[in-house]
Amino acid sequence: DPYLNDPKRHPILHPSSLKPYNAEPPPSILVDSYVTPNDLFYVRNHLPVPKVEVSTYKLKVYDANMKETSFSLEDIKTKFPKVTVTATVMCAGNRRGEMVKVKPVKGLSWGHAAIGNATWSGARLHEVLRSLGIDETSPNIEHVQFEGLDTDGVSVFYGASIPIEKALNPAGDVILAYEMNGEPIPRDHGYPLRVIVPGIVGARNVKWLGKIIVSKNESESHWQQNDYKGFSPSTDWDTVDFKTAPAIQELPVISAICDPSNSETISVKNGKITVRGYAWSGGGSKIVRVDVTGDQGKTWQVAKLIDEEADARPYRHWGWTLWTAEIPVSSGSKQVELWAKAVDSNYNTQPETFENIWNLRGVLSNAYHRIKVNLKY
Ligand code: MTE
Ligand code: MO
């Protein structure tokens, strides 16, 4: 069993698959702290967790001529300044469980906690690349490919790529991270080194980083080419052509209600209930507003944003925004339906329903979040 060496996991995590291991925490945990604790952070593995010995670990970096340079973990820690970036990582399949209600899709049935926010410390990718003479003037480079050390035991390794523009941009804040929330990165999250690509879909944040390849082409991996892409609601498995769609990079704006949870019974105080959740947008966009309604959109309450990144510069809002809203409820009502939607700094907002964003892989599932709760007085 190749999964025998997988690490122990926190019992509170709710698995959607055991081999490979995929799990998310109860959503209410997400709003308890700005930074998600390491052992409660969702886990998305496609393969067994590799057992990496730091003493023999090497990161191999290849330039466009396939010239190899290798770095030990110590090299990455000592040859480059250590920086810390707060960034949210979200799976493209977060909230897929809601899209499935329109029509079945292929993919793990995630709730709304396949997302987490952490501080990541490590070396800046652009400094590592520049130390090898790779920069904006290098010919024939358009992508930076990452390969994980996790393998199916035969020939397949996890891989993904990002555009060179993101990788070389100092304000892109891409880092080769060896710490998560001030601790060595846990095994499930990429020990000893993973790339953190802020604002970009989780799938490109490659864990257990083994190789970096600067190249003309995108990664050839299954997960870059034939997965993690969006399609029209009318595209089905007979008509889908993965070559026609771009790989997901920056994610669209999303939000979710984490407390209360669906069908929970909560207390009404002074005619109001308190609702808490998260909001986030890809590409470094800031969350500027979250609207919540308890009457199907007749009236919207503007949530109070707990903006821990208030001083982040434009296009560099990598961390999520937690929020809280007070929603009036009509006296005596026994149940209320709550909807939440966020607005980002591009004034993009979430679609109302899943019908017209449905896609066969169930990705980019960011329609209004809707729950029903029971009221007690
Ligand atoms: N990196 C490797 N090497 N193997 C993987 O299976 N999964 C990706 C990404 N990086 C994956 C990987 C996906 S799809 C997501 S959503 C994130 O890691 C999940 O990161 P986490 O498990 O630390 O939450
Ligand atoms: Mo993912």
- What number is the average pLDDT over the span 259-284? 98
Question: How much of the chain exceeds pLDDT 90, in percent?
Answer: 98
Measured distance CA(349)–CA(33) in Å, rounded: 25
The helix or strand, by DSSP H or E, that contains position 254, with its residue range, turns out to be strand 254-259
Measured distance CA(322)–CA(308) in Å, rounded: 9
Concatenate the DSSP letters of all residues of 224-250 into one string. Answer: HHSSSB---TT--TTT--GGGSPBP-B
Ligand 2 centre to CA of 46 (Å) is 9
- What number is the average pLDDT over the span 234-252? 97
Q: What ligand is nearest to the CA atom of residue 362? A: 2
Measured from the Cα of 190, ligand 1's closest atom is: 23
Contact 104, 122 (CB under 8 A): no
pLDDT of residue 307: 86
Radius of gyration in angstroms for the set of CA atoms belonging to the chain, rounded to a whole number: 21
pLDDT digits (tens, 9 = 90+) for 61-115: 999 999 999 999 999 999 999 999 999 999 999 999 999 999 999 999 999 999 9
Nearest protein Cα to ligand 1, atom 24: 43
As a whole number, the mean pLDDT across the chain is 97
The DSSP code for 348 is -
Contact 341, 255 (CB under 8 A): yes
- What number is the average pLDDT over the span 33-41? 98
Question: How much of the chain exceeds pLDDT 70, in percent?
Answer: 100
The DSSP code for 198 is T
Ligand 2 centre to CA of 302 (Å) is 30
Confidence at 290, pLDDT banded by 50, 70, 90? very high
Tokens of 298: 């007749």
pLDDT digits (tens, 9 = 90+) for 108-151: 999 999 999 999 999 999 999 999 999 999 999 999 999 999 99
Ligand 1 centre to CA of 203 (Å) is 6
Phi and psi at residue 317, in whole multiples of 5°?
A: -90, 85
pLDDT digits (tens, 9 = 90+) for 174-212: 999 999 999 999 999 999 999 999 999 999 999 999 999
310 has a pLDDT exceeding 90:
no
Ligand 1 centre to CA of 47 (Å) is 10
pLDDT of residue 177: 99
The dihedral built from the CA positions of residue 113, 223, 174 and 59, taken in this order, carries a sign that is positive
In this structure, the residues whose C-beta lies within 6 A of any atom of ligand 1 are 41-47, 89, 91, 148, 150, 158, 189, 202-203, 205-208
Nearest protein Cα to ligand 1, atom 23: 189
pLDDT of residue 313: 96
Best mutation site among 30, 36, 46, 90 for ligand 1, i.e. most ligand atoms within 8 A of its Cβ? 46
pLDDT digits (tens, 9 = 90+) for 155-171: 899 999 999 999 999 99
Concatenate the DSSP letters of all residues of 355-373 into one string. Answer: GGG--TT--S--S-EEEEE
What's the pTM value of the predicted model, to 2 decimals? Answer: 0.98
pLDDT of residue 101: 96
Q: What ligand is nearest to the CA atom of residue 361? A: 2
Q: What ligand is nearest to the CA atom of residue 117? A: 1
Measured distance CA(274)–CA(267) in Å, rounded: 9
